[in-house]
Amino acid sequence: MIFNIAKLPGDGIGPEIVEQAVKAIDAVCVKFGHKVNYTSALVGACAIDATGEPYPAETHKVCMESDAVLFGAIGDPRFDNNPNAKVRPEQGLLKMRKELGLYANIRPVTTFAELAHKSPLRIDLVEGADLVCIRELTGGLYFGRPQGRSEDGNTAYDTCVYNRDEITRICKLGFEYAMARRKQLTVVDKANVLATSRLWREVAKEMEKDYPEVKVEYMFVDNAAMKLVTQPKYFDVMVTENMFGDILTDEASVITGSLGLLPSASIGVHTSLFEPIHGSYPQAAGKNIANPIATILSAAMMFEYAFKLYDEGKAIRNAVAESLKQGIVTEDIAGDGQPYGTDQVGDFIKQQILK
């Protein structure tokens, strides 16, 4: 097979970690007889510097013409809390999601046995934790209109908007994932307060009849937040709206002990995007210390979700597991062991795939 992949390294550590994922992709293609073509494009602060836009039209064109998008990270401290910034890197991410129709963010949360002791939770709570968070990406408060501030600047407002089609689309994905796993779906909302949440619950209940094997539970977001840290093994598949999902998935990510281990996929109408869940970590940029494993595992998700090539994805996962087992890891998870550089971890995983 021939794959056309848009490569969007972005800001901070993005270029370094994407480079390691490319090593893994190339190794898989050698091993399984595929060919890959990469087209690089700008997004985020580096795109603002070059073009004035965080998601330029040329970048969008590259993404639209690709089979999948491999994305690093967005963010630059120059734009943080800067009242003079007319445009911000993060606006590029929102625009990319909207224009590519990236409506669902999928984050698997799996505890690695070798690193369970690094979780802030007790080992008995996290060992065996295995859940999938599905977050709606194109609706809710982040995109609702009207949005703004009063003329005197003393009042600000955001509008949370969802329609039935948006909810049906994301819930369908949730039901399908549950069917493929342990057949348990948790719909997270705030239906006791929010009209949008009541619509979410109404739509999901209507869909239950189409998936009679799935056990569906409806849970308020505050209860879900508590249960994630007290009973993470309780969950199988969780589906929720944009802002709730943003918060809950970040909370769930620390269960594993490191943000540097968790991949994600954003499923889209036009193409799909694969990225680590962590940010641009500008303090580490260029120091060869960033953990590339989340990005490499995002490449595994790319083979599985975009190309339906599960053996190829498994080859990457097995190589990552071996790097953890042998302690070939970066300083954030090395503990008392010898830390390895970003590129050394990437090279080791590449060689494991080629074995």
Show which residues are catalytic: 142, 190, 222, 246, 250
Type of residue found at 169: R
Tokens of 27: 């190794």
Tokens of 307: 């190309």
What span, in angstroms and rounded, lies between the C-alpha atoms of 72 and 295?
7
State phi, psi for 186 to the nearest 5 degrees.
-110, 120
Q: Is the dihedral of CA 28, 298, 103, 280 positive or negative?
A: negative
| Largest Cα–Cα separation, the chain | 65
Q: Kindly list the strands in the beta sheet with 237-240, ordered across the sheet, starting from the edge strand earlier in the chain.
A: 35-40, 2-10, 68-73, 273-276, 263-268, 102-110, 130-136, 237-240, 184-189, 215-220
What span, in angstroms and rounded, lies between the C-alpha atoms of 268 and 271?
5
Q: Which residues pair with 107 in a beta bridge?
A: 133
Q: Is the dihedral of CA 300, 302, 304, 308 positive or negative?
A: negative
Query: For 90-183, where are the E strands, in sequence order?
Result: 102-110, 130-136, 148-149, 156-157
Percentages of the chain per state (helix, strand, coil), in multiples of 5: 50, 20, 30
What span, in angstroms and rounded, lies between the C-alpha atoms of 282 and 290?
10
Contact assessment for residue 246 and residue 277, using Cβ atoms and an 8 Å cutoff:
no
Burial class of 273 by CB neighbour count within 10 A (0 to 12, 13 to 18, 19+) = buried
What span, in angstroms and rounded, lies between the C-alpha atoms of 89 and 75?
6
116: number of Cβ within 10 Å: 20
**N residues, the chain:** 355
